[in-house]
Amino acid sequence: MAKSVKKETTGKTKKKAAVKKSASKKSTAKKTSAAQSKKAKEVKTAAQKVEAKVEAPKVETKADTAVQTSLAVTLLNNIGAWSKLSALVAGAVLTAALPPFYYTWALFLAFSVLMFLLCRAGSGKNAAAVGYWFGFGYFAFGFYWIGNALLVDVAETGWLYPIVLLLNGAFFGLFAIIPALITRAGRNALSKMLLFAAGWCLIVEWLRGFILTGFPWNPVSSILGFSPAMLQVLGLFGTYGVSLLLVFAASIPAFWLLKPTRKRAWVVMLPLCMWLGAWQYGLFVLDKRPQIPDGHSLVIRLVQPSIPQSLKWDKDILEQNLQEYIDLSNAQDSHYIDFTVWGETASPFDLMYDYPHNRKVMNAVPRYGRLITGFLRREDNGRRVIPHNSLAVMNTKGEVEAWYDKSHLVPFGEYMPFRKYLPDWVRPLANVVAEFGRGEQYKIIKTGEYPAFAPLICYEVIFSDEVVKKGAEKPTWAVVLTNDGWYGVSSGPYQHLVAAQMRAAEEGISIVRSANSGISAVISAYGEIRAKIPLGTKAAIDALIKPEEAHQTLFGTYGNKIPLALSGVFLLLGLLCSLASKRKK
């Protein structure tokens, strides 16, 4: 019986163990199944996330409809991080848009980058630095050719070239600080663009025409010199007004750079519309102008001996240089010539009192016309002899019927600013600079039966609104005598020529330009070049000018009141736009 109970107990124990083992297997199976199920869910979730990431760019949201690539974002971030260097490079790039290159894309690239940097400046100090380095790059590279004057005598002054290059950028770059600071008053991109364009017009261009007698060379509007049609807008807004509009138009792409989305991509079309509008207006003006018969023209003989600057003032060959002018003037019959025109200081002798040289030059006067020449006039005021950079009109008798003394002198070239305040150690260097006398501004010369003309010498032609006196009798043509031989084969002579074209289009008068080494040209009252002698070419050419082509332009009537008023409008719009943005917030 005991054995029977023991067997029964053992059987129950085994049965319980079997049940427990079976339950354990089921539990393990459930755990395994749950783990596998969880893993499957994780895999599925991960797959969904990957799929979502791949498909994300195809989904547009209200927050961002971005079309930017990682490369573009990286580039913009780098530009912002290296703001001063980026501004310097942008300023240097802008010079590629100037004559004689005319790479228009450089205008839009430079100002778009500048405006992008100003909008992200964060403080007035950073904005000022960005503006300064942009101006530094623009003026250092844009005025590089000024240093070429030091290369005429490389041994003596060549070492100063890099110093002059840096000084140009360092000084003129200061003008760009104020427009950059003005943008701090703007609360959005549009207001900053409006304010900056107005500041650029007022400070960098207009005010630069006054400091130390002024040097408004290379206004932004000179990039239009490649097309007579584009120059016609100067007759409406003037040089500085057109510069304002160009700076504003070129800054607009920055609106997209700040947030490159599809919704903002349309703004790129605005500068294009403005550009095409100016071009169409110019074509309309040129098409509607009156046709003047050739019989109502003056015949001009331009003489360009292209004497190297290193030889022009060599005392041993001054007579030979003067004879070069005479020989070129008489190389062809001159009985039909109204005016033979020589360049600036073509005669180093005073033709009013130096009788032997007066008789010599008289041989170059056209048989029935006049000779217009540059010469050095000496005025004795009882205390000292004052030299003048002058223009003379000589008749067939050798009489100087009229003359003009240059009124707008070149600082550090024709006079030394603050000479009496300079320290003693600088005076020996300052004494190298002559102290020329100043003449009467806005002088008009009338000789014989010929129409009156406005005389200008050298860089006087770069001053907008200073060719013709408003409200006075308007001449129908102007004569510009210059010598760009100092600057060799560089951008300088080309930019100087474009300045003459711009004055013609602004005022609506023809311009005759005679340069010692080029570029000599006859320019119509619409800024077109009718005839020219290339840079560095020795030649004499005959060409027609049509004084009756002269016409009254809007700018010719009101002058720089137009760009100044336009700047005021842009400043007001910028402030109103900023105020509206503040109220929305």
Say if residue 519 is preceded by a cis peptide, omega within 30 of 0: yes
Q: Do 402 and 305 sit in the same domain of this protein? A: yes
Q: Do 98 and 184 sit in the same domain of this protein? A: yes
Residue 237 backbone class (left: φ over 0; alpha: ψ -120 to 50; beta: rest): alpha
| Candidate from 202-216, 418-432, 441-455 with smallest mean pLDDT | 418-432
Print the domain residue range for 299: 295-409+439-550
Which tokens is 480 given?
């510009």
265-282 mean pLDDT: 91
- What are the C-alpha distances in Å from 525 to residues 408, 477, 505, 513, 531? 23, 8, 6, 13, 13
Residue 572 scores a pLDDT above 80: yes
Q: Which residues contact residue 181 at a Cβ distance below 8 angstroms, ignoring those fewer than 6 apart?
A: 124, 127, 128, 131
Residue 501 falls within a domain, yes or no?
Answer: yes
Residue 16 falls within a domain, yes or no?
Answer: no
577 in Cβ contact with 190 (< 8 Å) = yes
User: How confident is the model over 368-386, as pLDDT tens digits?
Assistant: 999 999 999 999 888 888 8
Residue 191 has a pLDDT of 95
pLDDT classification of 284: cutoffs 50, 70, 90: very high
Residue 20 scores a pLDDT above 70: no
Q: Do 478 and 334 sit in the same domain of this protein? A: yes
- What are the C-alpha distances in Å from 344 to residues 83, 205, 317, 390, 515? 44, 26, 17, 8, 7
Give the N- to C-terminal CA distance of the chain in Å, as an integer: 100
Residue 424 falls within a domain, yes or no?
Answer: no
Residue 204 has a pLDDT of 97
pLDDT classification of 56: cutoffs 50, 70, 90: very low
Residue 81 has a pLDDT of 66
Residue 63 falls within a domain, yes or no?
Answer: no
Q: Do 159 and 282 sit in the same domain of this protein? A: yes
Global confidence as pTM? 0.85
Highest mean pLDDT among 26-35, 292-301, 308-317, 389-398: 389-398
Q: Do 113 and 155 sit in the same domain of this protein? A: yes
3-state secondary structure of 282: helix
Q: Do 338 and 269 sit in the same domain of this protein? A: no
User: How confident is the model over 57-115, as pLDDT tens digits?
Assistant: 344 444 444 444 456 556 666 676 689 999 999 999 999 999 999 999 999 999 999 99
Q: Which residues contact residue 309 at a Cβ distance below 8 angstroms, ignoring those fewer than 6 apart?
A: 149, 152, 483, 485, 486, 488, 517
Residue 212 has a pLDDT of 78
Say if residue 563 is preceded by a cis peptide, omega within 30 of 0: no
Q: Do 96 and 145 sit in the same domain of this protein? A: yes
Residue 479 falls within a domain, yes or no?
Answer: yes
User: How confident is the model over 318-353, as pLDDT tens digits?
Assistant: 999 999 999 999 999 999 999 999 999 999 999 999
CATH number (domain holding residue 353): 3.60.110.10
Average pLDDT, the chain: 86
574-585 mean pLDDT: 84
Residue 429 scores a pLDDT above 70: no
Residue 468 scores a pLDDT above 80: yes
Residue with more model confidence, 551 or 261 = 551
Q: What count of residues does the chain have?
A: 585
Q: Which residues contact residue 300 at a Cβ distance below 8 angstroms, ignoring those fewer than 6 apart?
A: 337, 338, 339, 340, 341, 512, 522, 542, 543, 544, 545
Residue 364 scores a pLDDT above 90: yes
Q: Do 128 and 146 sit in the same domain of this protein? A: yes
Residue with more model confidence, 63 or 33 = 33
φ/ψ of residue 301, rounded to 5: -110, 115
DSSP letter at 332 equals S
Residue 495 falls within a domain, yes or no?
Answer: yes
Number of domains in the chain: 2
Residue 402 scores a pLDDT above 90: yes
Q: Do 275 and 371 sit in the same domain of this protein? A: no
Q: Do 312 and 381 sit in the same domain of this protein? A: yes
Residue 51 falls within a domain, yes or no?
Answer: no
Residue 115 falls within a domain, yes or no?
Answer: yes
User: How confident is the model over 134-174, as pLDDT tens digits?
Assistant: 999 999 999 999 988 888 888 888 888 899 899 999 999 99
Residue with more model confidence, 527 or 212 = 527
Residue 419 has a pLDDT of 63
Residue positions annotated with a catalytic role = 344, 406, 458
Q: Do 268 and 305 sit in the same domain of this protein? A: no
Can you tell me the distance from the alpha carbon of 186 to that of 193, in angstroms, rounded to the nearest whole number?
A: 8
Alpha helices in 252-317 (DSSP H): 254-257, 269-288, 309-312
Can you tell me the distance from the alpha carbon of 498 to that of 478, in angstroms, rounded to the nearest whole number?
A: 15
The helix-helix angle for 561-584 and 234-251 (nearest 10°) equals: 30
Residue 6 has a pLDDT of 45
Nearest CA among 240, 319, 235, 314 for reference residue 278: 235
Q: Do 484 and 575 sit in the same domain of this protein? A: no
Do β-strands 370-380 and 339-341 pair in parallel, antiparallel, or remain unpaired? parallel
Can you tell me the distance from the alpha carbon of 322 to that of 53, in angstroms, rounded to the nearest whole number?
A: 81
